[in-house]
Chains A and B, each alone.
Chain A
Amino acid sequence: MSSWIRPEAFSSYPSEGRNLAAKNLETLRQLPAALLPVFLGELKTYDWQFPIEQHEILRRIAFVQANPASVSGFHQISVPHNMERAENIAVPQRFLAEMSAYLWSSLQMDTYRKAAGEFIRLYQTAETPVTPIVPRLAVIMIGKEANVSPPLFQKLRPHGQIRTSVRIQGSVEAILKVVQERSTNHAEPYAHWYVDGGNPLPGVAAGLAQLSWPELAPMNRVVLGHIQSCIANGSGPEVLQQQLAEMPLHGLSTGAVAGDPRLQHFALSLFTEGSGTQIFATSFVQAAIREILRRAQPATLFARFAPRQRQKPFNAMVEDIARGSYDLDPDGSLVDADMAAFYAYLELMQLPGSAQASILVWFEDHPLVFVAGPLIPRGTYTDSPCTLTETFSDLLAEA
């Protein structure tokens, strides 16, 4: 029994998370110490989590209550008592970082990994996943302004079909139409998303949750300011991580996320928890795709890559971003985005309803498209002329 876990330690938590913690205090006290930071982190951010995440958190707590043996693997991990202190409850991100460092240094990370794998297996076996309101669709545009065309979709190819003669004209409109129809016909909070590494396309449906790198630049500049301060005062990366994790949202509302606290926190997390998201537009979109799929589990995700800046010394890139002026590397960005599209596919296949999910990746302004879905033969190729509208029809059947 972890009697050091007291209700007052949660006083800094937002209201819903605090109430949930109070309601499940005994469950938290029963948790193995190595696992505790993960649950605390979810409670601390509970108020800003997406609906599906909140649902999952409640289910995980209920599952642990009903199946205490599911976390038995974590009991094999020894944790020093000095980690059991109230301030670690107040700042679970710091607790998690401290625990992670300890697990590595005590060479217990493999034990932790094994215990986590077993817990996830038991949980997924016992719980019925929440399926999407409509079979999931991810649409990704890559290669804006690229001048070269390396072999694309090499990792994706075994999973679907490459089409080499897709009509370019009208393709953007076809994507926007499909996305708009889905968001209109299956309206639900945070079920349909649009992410852009450049300026948003005109005509994107208003019902989408939207993020764009340029529109979030003011938020990014504040994060970069923290990073530059840490560099200037010689703080280490661990201090920086802690500072970023605890960065307040006040005054950072910007762009399409303004007025939506959940979206604001999500956008901020992409900059404070992401790596490279602050300096490379491609890394931002890649991280956004991953986190949207993992966290919001959307029905529709439309993401568009834009060229990142060319690699320079870190400080120079930070300054260039702050100035808003930098050289672009569209060809390298195409390679980045091609890999990111593969990762998007892998993430999509991890979600409930994956057997019905589809993905379309278009090399922007080129006749090259990759599609995968339940109706698409795998590992195939076609050079038959077609439009993107026809491609969507093949992919979605009912579109």
Chain B
Amino acid sequence: MNEFHRVSVSRRDFLRDAIGAAAAVTMFCMRSAHALPSLAASSQKVVVITFGGGARDDETFSVDGQQYIPHLLNTLAPQSCFFTQVINRGILGHYVATASIATGSYETFDNFVAQPPAHPTIFEYFRKDLRRPREDAWVVAPGNLFAQMGWSRDRRFGPDAGAEMVVPKQLLAHALGAAGIAELDSYPALLRDNYEMIPTAPAVSAGDADSAERLTARLHVDAATLRAAAANLGSPDELSVFVTRHIMGQFAPSLIFLTLHDIDIAHSGAYSLYIEGIRRTDRLCAEVWNEIQTNPEYKDRTSLFILPDFGRDGDTDSGGCGFQHHRTGSPSARTTWMMALGPAIRQRTVVDRPIESIDLASAIGGVLHFDPSYAQGKTIPELL
């Protein structure tokens, strides 16, 4: 048993008992999306949630961690296809890792510089192959650093073929207005940043402001409404989910990529805040699933993928600081899990075979029927 496998074993055994699932290796039979007559490709939708940023097994699907994820465990896992061993072999920085998931290739750019990824994104493949309008693919990003994740630097694709990007913090800052920027601290829970990136004011440039104004108008959410809603939300991720639900209601896009990030408070070293972030993220994942089940545009046609971008350092990793960071590149930091749900997905299945986080691009291509031709990730036949 290698180190990566060892990390996944406890969650695998536990899950199998918990959901009564069979192992995909014993029940697996090839079934492509083409063989699902009731699930016509044109009506399929996909929502991706990165359970971010960076959550360990110890605080999620391990026996000790299950107390923090009651919604994932009791509500979502029993209907899911669960992958116990998802390995990220790339750079363990949140933006570059999340972009790698979106491109299906390990990106190698500077994690701290806002820029489009080098490889084409799933949003570009999706829009180009299926000739979809921009508003059919959305990325909800946790901060300015992620603001160009919706398209690539690949000249065969690029911004015109990319997703609609929204940074909810920018929207809120715009709603507050220039005069109201001083009121930011009136929304303490929503505008806090993680401790790996230096925080900057949410809307810092004329371009950002224009973009926020355009998006605010497109979303039909006036400043007063946004401010009123924001006052009752408890964290940046809650704001992101609020905006995501609004997007689902307004545009019903076929492809949504929601990046949650509250968990990355772990960098501050406060374990209680890290746990609080995991509990909140668990609840928000269930809220998105409930939205999918209650929104007629999404019900019975949506696949939901939930996965952390990567883990965090193990308690005993040499040179590490345990849960606080993800610097060692150890199996604990590289190995995580993925949950897939929806009518197109094989349910009550636990897959032990190791996959990589970049394999998700091909999986989404399989569900939505586009070809991520330049992605390096492999297909995941157990899913469908």
Kindly report which residue of chain B lies nearest to residue A342, judged by CB atoms: B315
Most buried by A among B89, B191, B270: B270
Most buried by B among A107, A311, A333: A311
Given A106-B108, A107-B90: A237 touches B196 (CB 8 Å cut-off): yes
Given A104-B91, A106-B108, A107-B90: A113 touches B328 (CB 8 Å cut-off): yes
Q: Are B193 and A313 neighbours in the complex by a CB distance under 8 Å?
A: yes
A140 to chain B, nearest CB (A): 15
B2 close to chain A: CB less than 8 A: no
Q: Are A277 and B315 neighbours in the complex by a CB distance under 8 Å?
A: no
Which residues of B have CB within 8 Å of A227? 198
Which residues of B have CB within 8 Å of A339? 271, 322-323
Task: Give residues of chain A (296-351) contacting chain B, Cβ–Cβ below 8 Å.
Answer: 308, 311-316, 329, 331-336, 338-340, 342-343, 346
Q: Give Cα A283–Cα B272 distance, bound, in whole angstroms.
A: 11
Q: Are A346 and B315 neighbours in the complex by a CB distance under 8 Å?
A: yes
Q: Are B315 and A286 neighbours in the complex by a CB distance under 8 Å?
A: no
B374 close to chain A: CB less than 8 A: no
Number of A-B residue pairs at CB separation under 8 A: 120
| Binary interface encoding of chain B residues 314-329 relative to chain A, with 1 for a CB under 8 A from any of its CBs, else 0 | 0110110111110011
Kindly report which residue of chain A lies nearest to residue B334, judged by CB atoms: A110
Given A276-B269, A332-B273, A333-B272: A104 touches B198 (CB 8 Å cut-off): no
Q: Are B192 and A275 neighbours in the complex by a CB distance under 8 Å?
A: no
B325 to chain A, nearest CB (A): 7
Given A113-B329, A236-B112, A312-B188: A107 touches B106 (CB 8 Å cut-off): yes
Kindly report which residue of chain B lies nearest to residue A331, judged by CB atoms: B272
Given A104-B91, A283-B268, A332-B272: A235 touches B198 (CB 8 Å cut-off): yes
Kindly report which residue of chain B lies nearest to residue A235, judged by CB atoms: B198
A361 close to chain B: CB less than 8 A: no
Q: Are A346 and B198 neighbours in the complex by a CB distance under 8 Å?
A: no
Total contacting residues, chain A, CB less than 8 A? 53
Return the contact of A313 from the options B64, B191, B318, B328 (Cβ within 8 A).
B191
Which residues of B have CB within 8 Å of A338? 271
Given A101-B110, A106-B108, A113-B328: A315 touches B199 (CB 8 Å cut-off): yes
Q: Give Cα A110–Cα B268 distance, bound, in whole angstroms.
A: 25
Which residues of A have CB within 8 Å of B193? 313-314
Q: Are A282 and B199 neighbours in the complex by a CB distance under 8 Å?
A: no
Q: Are A231 and B199 neighbours in the complex by a CB distance under 8 Å?
A: yes
Q: Are B271 and A276 neighbours in the complex by a CB distance under 8 Å?
A: no
| Binary interface encoding of chain B residues 90-120 relative to chain A, with 1 for a CB under 8 A from any of its CBs, else 0 | 1111000000000000101110110000000
Given A107-B108, A110-B329, A275-B324: A280 touches B192 (CB 8 Å cut-off): no
Return the contact of B270 from the options A113, A237, A283, A290 (Cβ within 8 A).
A283
Q: Which 8 A-B pairs have the closest CB atoms?
A: A283-B269, A276-B268, A335-B272, A339-B271, A276-B269, A332-B272, A313-B192, A109-B329
